[in-house]
Chains A and B, each alone.
Chain A
């Protein structure tokens, strides 16, 4: 281990410089709400998504039928029927707003939200954006388009939950909406994630047991060998 100081010094320099260099950009650190994926939250999130987000955004990989079929959301046929209107169950949850109209109104086509929590910085990012509309301190970006958490701060999406200048007594309600829809989006980005983590526990537990047995076997086989 005599050589370590050399290499350790270089590693030390890198570790000291790197984080400061990597996160030089000026957006705020995200808010960290307590995101849960229980049935109640997911259903509330689905409501918010359908009533507000789907005005402009789609989630095409998620079908209306999925709202019943994934037990984690577990909506009833009645609830789904109320949401889907005349659309078939096997249709993706897509917005009625056409790309051309969106471009005319907002200057760009709103992204599909099916995997948005994976393609951005997770549900915390969605939550922070939804509750991040403020008055631009420099006064350049018009109110309703200045977002403290959006890279570059100038967001095309107009404040969907009406967070900017909201009545303080509504704070709880809006935060709850933002939290549930963030949870819903995180869920639909990977609808098998709860099953995955559950299965993972059994897999790891089995592997740990197996590895212990293999280690004992190895020790037994090698006990007479000097090495």
Chain B
């Protein structure tokens, strides 16, 4: 049926003037894909689906949302009120908002799985270094987008979370105060902050789409890695359609079941996706008992808290993200997949564990024991990058298969 559609006179007419049909053929139908990809390779397409969902639901939310910190009855604000009006009075407004709120968490979950897959199977190694770097830029852009978006409901966590994070930029030597005031549009989080965050929250996803297009383009130049990490021969690949269209669609089905469970039955995600404190209106007079970012930012927040000195913590946090850019060069081994690299496999699993531990600890109040655990996990996190060049240089690898 698709073949017939692509051969209609209309399609031909368009193709002669744009080459679109040729592109569809090349990138969505014939695109050679390794036949041995496992389900870890589903997360990229799923993340694109959620990006589309976020943009669509966000467009509709923006039709009703009011970015104003003007105080209304009961200590609420226009912004908080408009969110409640969406939840109560807009037809299926609750559905759109929950899709957007759960979607944010889902997006990060998928991207982190996508990263984990890339790390484990060495998808960052030559010739995919740029693909990896663009991926890290995507993650940073997502984190910024999420941070801007979280201020918009103007709840307690919005307000205090934004206060804490913008304060971090204020600690940068010399230019700190300039950045701080630029971000806030004043001396504290207030109405101008809300307006510019709303504007940026609408802008950043557009940038994200552009970067994702570049990511995909680069992918289609270097092609997918696969679980063996060996470049496949002609016999090792299958055309994208129907093999991977149908496999990705099956993945979409499984994902949507989990996604809709949260949207319809657990929209606050046990308080991890919508925090209880954020249902209290923002107040500059009362600080919540415990300020923590949403779960997807907690590993980095933990690294920040691991150091007693604020500036050192900030540098460590920035470094923890920046180091990701250099992984393609820190890893000096020739073999890609962790399947054939026993040492690297140990290291990368330990790295995953450290991120999970940091993530957990970033969400709770620190006790003496937990503080120690955070420091150990931080050491493991940085240890991964520190030892990577030495371990991988002399690593004894297992024999590779001839083909996938």
Residues of chain A touching chain B, judged by Cβ–Cβ distance below 8 Å, are 2-4, 6-7, 10-11, 13-14, 17-18, 21-22, 24, 58, 60-61, 92, 94, 109, 111-112, 114-115, 118-121, 151, 189-192, 196-197, 199-201, 203-204, 207-208, 210-211, 214-215, 217-218, 221-222, 225-227
Contacts and interface: CB of A to CB of B under 8 A. Distances in A.
Nearest to A59: B74
Interface stretch (B189-197, B295-303, B319-327, B345-353): B345-353
Sorted nearest first, the 4 A-B pairs with minimum C-beta distance are A200-B264, A211-B253, A119-B279, A112-B74
B360 A18 contact: yes
Interface residues of B, number: 56
30 contacts: A3-B350, A4-B349, A6-B350, A7-B352, A10-B350, A14-B361, A17-B370, A18-B360, A18-B364, A21-B364, A58-B73, A58-B74, A112-B75, A118-B274, A119-B277, A119-B278, A119-B279, A189-B279, A192-B87, A192-B94, A196-B264, A197-B265, A200-B260, A200-B263, A204-B257, A208-B257, A214-B250, A215-B250, A218-B247, A218-B250
Contacts of B254: 211
B99 to A, nearest CB: 12
Given A190-B94, A222-B243, A203 B264 contact: yes
Interface of A, helix, strand, loop or mixed by DSSP: helix
B369 interface: yes
Q: Determine chain B's interface SS by DSSP, over half rule.
A: helix
Contacts of A120: 276
A16 to B, nearest CB: 10
Interface of B: 35-36, 73-76, 81, 84, 87-88, 94-95, 238, 242-243, 246-247, 249-250, 252-254, 256-257, 260-261, 263-265, 267-268, 274, 276-281, 289, 342, 345-346, 349-350, 352-353, 356-357, 360-361, 364-365, 367, 369-370, 373
A203 B260 contact: yes
Nearest to A94: B73
Contacts of B95: 196
Given A3-B349, A118-B268, A217-B246, A211 B238 contact: no
A167 to B, nearest CB: 35
